[in-house]
Amino acid sequence: MSGKLPLIVLGLGNVGQALLRQIIETRRRIADRTSLYLAPIALATTSGLLYDADGLPEETLRTALEMVGRGGKLGDMIGVRSPGDLPATLRPDAIVVDLTASPLTVPFLHAAMERGCGIVLANKIPLAAPWAEARPFYEYPRLRYEVTVGAGLPVIAALRYLLDTGDEITHIEGCMSGTLNYLCAELERGAPYSTAVAQARALGYTEPNPRDDLSGKDVARKALILARTAGWPLEESDLCIEPLYPASLADVPVDEFMAALPALDAEYRARVRKAEAEGQVLRYMARVGPQGGTVGLAAVPKESPLGALHGPANHISLYTARYQFLPLTISGPGAGPEVTAAGVLGDIVELGRLAGTR
């Protein structure tokens, strides 16, 4: 008989919907393999809360997926509660799964830690906050956050493995944004910068406001998470971040921002040509070490693994005392709701197994 593993799921965006589908489709197989039966007891968004202490019926989960999938709100469902009732759902045997991109979940996460819950984060914001605020999360033993860097790639797991076996991390570098990798590939192909950004936006690769990607802040958050996991309590101010637009466009309306981008085409065409003349290509990279790091465009050899990178892929290299000259490298799809949800599922199962051994 499999034991129920209660789940409290925050957020039903693309990843949240993919996770629910994967739970419904795979939980019997997971139970056969791990003796853990995944049982969502709460689904919460800003519009409402669905809760059943014994586990929400599968019909309710499917109805929620259908409602949200067609653009509706959880708050429109029959039997929905106020999001304000969420704290009452906490119990020590539950795992809280934060799939939002919001700082508003932080107080609830602290309450979950106080109750001894497991926590799985796709939300990078708590981990990339100022160190004094983020530190309790890194020190909490029942917290996992694999998908905050590299989606479903086992980047955090590899870093932890190295640290747990006594290795010393010297620096970390790589391409950590599928969106910006796509942009660089389009520039390399000859597309004007403004066209490449517009195409990425039309394909859904960027956020509705492309500056959320082009600012480099999402990559910087990932670099901070890797650094802090490695044992370097860096702040965002320790990173030199290069946005892919001038400061004058930082606060204008989105339509005005997009209309102004052709003025940048010549600058980026010149950078691409300069790299080509030296047998190199441009990649948006993060490099971080114990003292800080850089996030921005860098020229890399065209024949290198980074130079061969195309599409929404990530490529992250861990340099250590043992891997000095040939780093431990993780490469693969670094975006997409299905692979991200699978990474979340892996963290859930790991925490469930650990709870069973306590």
111 contacts 86 by C-beta, under 8 angstroms: no
**pLDDT at residue 1 in the model:** 39
Same domain, 100 and 144: yes
In a domain, 118, yes or no: yes
In a domain, 157, yes or no: no
Same domain, 89 and 219: no
d(CA 331, CA 346) in angstroms, rounded, equals 18
Same domain, 39 and 65: yes
The residue type of 122 is A
Whether the model pTM is above 0.75:
yes
Distances (CA, A) of 235 to 96, 135, 142: 26, 11, 24
The residue type of 199 is Q
Question: Partners of 285 in the beta sheet?
Answer: 296
Same domain, 209 and 352: no
**pLDDT at residue 2 in the model:** 63
In a domain, 156, yes or no: no
Same domain, 188 and 329: yes
DSSP strand pairing (239-241 vs 280-289): unpaired
- CA-CA-CA-CA torsion sign (338, 340, 341, 345): positive
CATH value at residue 260? 3.30.360.10
Q: Which residues does 258 contact at the CB level (< 8 Å), separation at least 6?
A: 194, 197, 198, 201, 210
The helix (H) or strand (E) run that includes residue 342 is helix 337-357
In a domain, 261, yes or no: yes
Same domain, 194 and 138: no
Same domain, 182 and 325: yes
- Residue 222 designated active-site: yes
In a domain, 161, yes or no: no
* Tens of pLDDT, residue by residue, the chain (358 residues): 368 999 999 999 989 999 999 999 999 999 999 999 999 999 999 999 999 999 999 999 999 999 999 999 999 998 899 999 999 999 999 999 999 999 999 999 999 999 999 999 999 999 999 999 999 999 999 999 999 998 889 999 999 999 999 999 999 999 999 889 989 999 999 999 999 999 988 887 888 789 989 999 999 999 999 999 999 999 999 999 999 999 999 999 999 999 999 999 999 999 999 999 999 999 999 999 999 999 999 999 998 888 888 777 899 999 999 999 899 999 988 777 898 999 999 999 999 998 865 5
In a domain, 222, yes or no: yes
Among candidate residues 4, 222, 274, 302, the one labeled active-site is: 222
Same domain, 345 and 321: no
In a domain, 94, yes or no: yes
Same domain, 16 and 114: yes
Same domain, 12 and 88: yes
- Nearest alpha-carbon partner for 23 in 341, 245, 322: 341
CATH value at residue 348? 3.40.50.720
In a domain, 329, yes or no: yes
Same domain, 325 and 346: no
Same domain, 140 and 193: no
How many domains, the chain? 2
Tell me the residue range of the domain where 299 lies: 169-333
DSSP state of 303: T
**pLDDT at residue 79 in the model:** 87
